[in-house]
Amino acid sequence: MVMYIGGAFQGQDTLAKEEYPHIHWVDGECCSWDELMEAEGVLNFHEFIKEQLRQEKDLSSLAEEMLKKNSGLIIVSNEVGYGVVPVDAFERKYRECVGRVCTKLAAGSDKVCRVVCGIGAWIKDA
């Protein structure tokens, strides 16, 4: 598993697609749970989490299931936890959930690339 993460509009999707131009990407904003488990790459993974939370799905074992069923997945996700604590309860739940899921995925990933201004830094490279 490889992760490309960064703040909004930092070019993590462009960098990942350059690195893996021939794989099948799904979009986290509209892909299903099953599609995620079979995809080669996922863009906007944070949007997948938001959509699942909107549907009130239990995400406590999402990371474990992904690592078990799709350990070769390339994940592109925004980091959403760097703002002031949101007033809205759903927003608070969402940003914390992105953090918890991605922390578990990062622990199971071989490599994690953090992208700032389109420039990637490998913060984990096993």
Partner 1 sequence: MIHLITGGSGSGKSAYAESRIQQFDIDRRYYIATMQPFDEESHARIRRHRLMRKDKGFETIECYHDLETVKIEEGASVLLECMSNLVANEMFGQQKSIEETIEAVRSGVENLQRQAAEIVIVTNEIFSHTSFYEKETKDYQECLGRINQMLADMSSDVIEVVYGIPVEHKCQAKMYHHIAKCAKG
Nearer to partner 1, 50 or 95 (CB): 95
Tell me 100's DSSP state: H
Tell me 17's DSSP state: H
Check residue 85 for interaction with partner 1 (CB under 8 A). yes
Pairing of β 25-27 and β 111-116 = unpaired
Q: For residues 74 and 96, give the distance between their C-alpha atoms in angstroms, rounded to a whole number.
A: 22
- Map residue 93 onto helix, strand or coil: helix
CA angle centred on 32, ends 126 and 36, rounded to 5°: 15
Check residue 62 for interaction with partner 1 (CB under 8 A). no
Going residue by residue from 94 to 113, which x/- string records binding to partner 1, judged by CB under 8 A? -xxxxxx-xx-xxx----x-
Nearer to partner 1, 24 or 92 (CB): 92
Q: For residues 116 and 7, give the distance between their C-alpha atoms in angstroms, rounded to a whole number.
A: 7
Nearer to partner 1, 9 or 33 (CB): 9
Give the list of residues 6+ apart from residue 90 with CB closer than 8 angstroms, or none: 53
Check residue 11 for interaction with partner 1 (CB under 8 A). no
Nearer to partner 1, 30 or 123 (CB): 123
Check residue 117 for interaction with partner 1 (CB under 8 A). no
Contact set with partner 1 (CB under 8 A) = 3, 5, 7-8, 79-85, 89, 92, 95-100, 102-103, 105-107, 112, 114, 121-124
